[in-house]
Amino acid sequence: MITTVQIKKLDPKATIPTYGSQYAAGADLYACLAEPVLLAPGETKLIPTGLALEIPEGYAGLIYARSGLASKKGLAPANKVGVVDADYRGEVMVALHNHSLAAAEVEPGERIAQMVITPFITAAFTEVDELSETVRGAGGFGSTGKK
């Protein structure tokens, strides 16, 4: 399934997102930097992409870590999954966090995250006095694991 997403370069150096393979779910986002950025261990910095998007109504752009960047440099989005809403028209930024014990550098043009364009359901929340019963009930964290 292909959905058209309008994209605007806010910086001429910006790179349009690309898919790494025919069946890739996430499109790679690229750092739009004039020079390398150093992240100290435990540090988070906003990395610009130089792009603004017009995501269709009923869809969102979910920004995830790139497995290679996370496993090799310890860099991943600070908020775990970023959300780009359909009505947002500002620059797409990635809050990269250095989870490693060593400083890591982000190079201009480096692939820094991946974005999945996905449909979503908007819930109509209805307050009630009681909820239906289930076997699990109010069992929370770890309640369905081994005993």
- Token representation of residue 9: 């370069």
pLDDT of residue 147: 58
* Mean pLDDT along residues 2-24: 96
Per-residue pLDDT reduced to its tens digit, 57-106? 999 999 999 999 999 999 999 999 999 999 999 999 999 999 999 999 99
Integer CA distances (angstroms), 98 to 62, 72, 104, 105, in order: 20, 11, 7, 10
Give me the chain's average pLDDT, please.
Answer: 95
Global pTM reads 0.90
pLDDT of residue 141: 80
- Token representation of residue 30: 């690229």
Higher pLDDT, 5 or 146: 5
Quick check: 82 and 60 in contact, CB under 8 A? no
**What structural domains does the chain harbor?**
6-119 (2.70.40.10)
| Other Cβ atoms within 10 Å of 92 Cβ, number | 23
